[in-house]
Structure 1
Amino acid sequence: MSFLGLRKWPTPFLKPMWPFMTAAAIVTYGVAQIQAKAIRSPEYANDPRNPYAAQLAKEAHH
Structure 2
Amino acid sequence: MRAWPTPFIRPMWPFLAGGALTFYMVASAQSAMLQAPVYRDDPRNPRRVPVAAH
**TM-score normalized by structure 1?**
0.69
| Structure 1 residue 52: Cα displacement | 0.4
For the pair 1:32 / 2:27, whether they are aligned, the reply is yes
Pairing partner for 1:41 from 23, 36, 53? 36
Provide the secondary structure at the position in 2 that maps to 1:54.
coil
Provide the secondary structure at the position in 2 that maps to 1:53.
coil
Per residue, is there more helix in 1 or in 2? 1
| Structure 1 residue 10: Cα displacement | 4.9
| Structure 1 residue 13: Cα displacement | 1.4
Residue identity over aligned pairs, in percent, reads 45
Question: CA–CA distance in 1 between the matches of 2:38 and 2:5?
Answer: 52
Task: Please give the root-mean-square deviation of Cα atoms over the aligned residues, in Å.
Answer: 2.0
Letter of the 1:48 counterpart: P
Q: Across the two proteins, how many residue pairs are aligned to each other?
A: 49
Question: Which blocks of at least 5 consecutive residues in structure 1 are unaligned?
Answer: 1-7, 58-62
Pairing partner for 2:9 from 14, 25, 41? 14
**TM-score normalized by structure 2?**
0.78
User: Which position in structure 2 is the counterpart of 1:5?
Assistant: none
